[in-house]
Amino acid sequence: MAPIELDVSPAQVERIEAVARFARERLSPGARERDARGEFSRALWDEAARFGLAGLPIPETWGGSGLDAVETMQVVETLGRTCEDGGLVFSLCAHMFASAVPIWRSKDAKQQGLYLADIAAGSLLCANGTTEPEAGSDIYAMKATARRVGDDYILDGTKCFITNAPVADLFLIYAKTDPSAGFLGISAFLLPRATAGLRVVPEHHKSGLRTSPWGTIYLEDCKVPVTARMGPEGAGAALFGESMIWERCCLFAYYVGAMERSLRRCIEYARDRKQFGKPIGKNQSIANRIVDMKIRLETCRLLLYRAGELHRQGRRCEDAVAMCKLWISECAVASGLDAIQIFGGTGVVTDAGVDALLRDAVPAQVFSGTSEMQRMIIARTLGVG
């Protein structure tokens, strides 16, 4: 089934159906148990990667699928509809959009030659380290430094809440090469896990996206050759910004699919579950919750594919992407709450999985730039704020 009443080519429909089959048959079984244990499965990661889910937007030259933003969204939305392992999809998306995309977009042929094919194949699992204990939303206040000493850089700093860090093979680290230059003072570095002076400590378990591991990265007198730098000095912030545009639209397609999955379940339950001698859906207050879930789903989908289309055409899309990220994450939380209310007590039974949408959606209002930061971007483009 086509995910939206936009033009979807036969090849795209075929891809969507293949992804749906794969996700249902291979990724979803056991997802609730892994979620309860907070367990990342490298074996499933490898299987998803072999299927092609680790390199969707990466050009075919490096073994990726070469999908544009709209096609990437179609695949990720399909995963939302069919894959119950939200954490695994989140880890794949963080790897693709916040690590693989900036390496591809850096046009740094040396780094691309070294890593990109293995990243697109998923055999090199990536993490991106931007956030610090004192620099979250205010990312340009980062304190991590990279001091040039001859043919080396010495990196020092701490990066926290880093998705995939405990299992990553390669780290994309943003650090200041010129602390006085603001945006232009940040550079990007690629560090293999074995780099001396790089240490990862896993973070506490999350309430949602529990199968996606995260951790803190400590960089202490971490000496890397100049060749570890990606792109020119000072290019880091621009690369990070471009990666966030990809992440804010394409990753959030997952939540659109997950909202549809939850809506279907709620409709079925509201028809089957009887109280006072009739299906609960016959009560207008329950039916209206379902109507609101449907309207949220459809408005999210329109904003999603509008942002994707603008991005695909290479047009300015920062505000469209911010609206898409903001609206989808907030609607997913609202619909997650509605789903729990419709299911009553069953809604909060972890094994039933009804609460997964809410638990997975709450962090979505924070990562890739908080709702407040997205509102700031939109206000700025409106000439206020």
Ligand X SMILES: Cc1cc2nc3c(=O)[nH]c(=O)nc-3n(C[C@H](O)[C@H](O)[C@H](O)COP(=O)(O)OP(=O)(O)OC[C@H]3O[C@@H](n4cnc5c(N)ncnc54)[C@H](O)[C@@H]3O)c2cc1C
The residues annotated with a catalytic role in the active site are 247
- In angstroms, the CA 329 to CA 364 distance is 5
329 binding ligand X? (CB under 6 A): no
Q: State the binding string over 147-166 for ligand X (x if CB under 6 A, else -).
A: --------------xxx---
130 binding ligand X? (CB under 6 A): yes
- CA distance readout (Å), 367 to 145, 170, 209, 362: 23, 20, 12, 10
- In angstroms, the CA 125 to CA 95 distance is 7
287 binding ligand X? (CB under 6 A): no
Q: Going along the chain, which residue ranges are E strands?
A: 126-129, 145-149, 152-163, 170-176, 186-192, 198-202, 214-225, 229-230, 274-275, 278-279
137 binding ligand X? (CB under 6 A): yes
Residues 6+ apart with CB under 8 A from 11: none
- CA distance readout (Å), 190 to 18, 195, 312, 317, 351: 34, 10, 27, 28, 40
Closer to ligand X by Cβ: residue 23 or 251: 251
Count the site residues for ligand X by CB under 6 A. Answer: 19
Shortest CB 366 distance to ligand X, Å: 4
366 binding ligand X? (CB under 6 A): yes
- Is residue 213 within 8 A of residue 186, CB to CB? The reply is no
Binder to ligand X among 38, 66, 136, 353 (CB under 6 A)? 136
Which of positions 197-216 make contact with ligand X (CB under 6 A)? Answer: 206, 209, 214
Q: How many CB atoms lie within 10 A of CB 123?
A: 13
Binder to ligand X among 12, 41, 227, 370 (CB under 6 A)? 370
Closer to ligand X by Cβ: residue 113 or 183: 183
87 binding ligand X? (CB under 6 A): no
- In angstroms, the CA 261 to CA 240 distance is 32
363 binding ligand X? (CB under 6 A): yes
Binder to ligand X among 129, 215, 234, 281 (CB under 6 A)? 129
- Is residue 243 within 8 A of residue 128, CB to CB? The reply is yes
128 binding ligand X? (CB under 6 A): yes
Q: How many CB atoms lie within 10 A of CB 328?
A: 31
Binder to ligand X among 372, 379, 380, 385 (CB under 6 A)? 372
Question: Under the rule (CB under 6 A), what is the footprint of ligand X?
Answer: 94, 128-131, 136-137, 161-163, 206, 209, 214, 363, 366-367, 370, 372-373
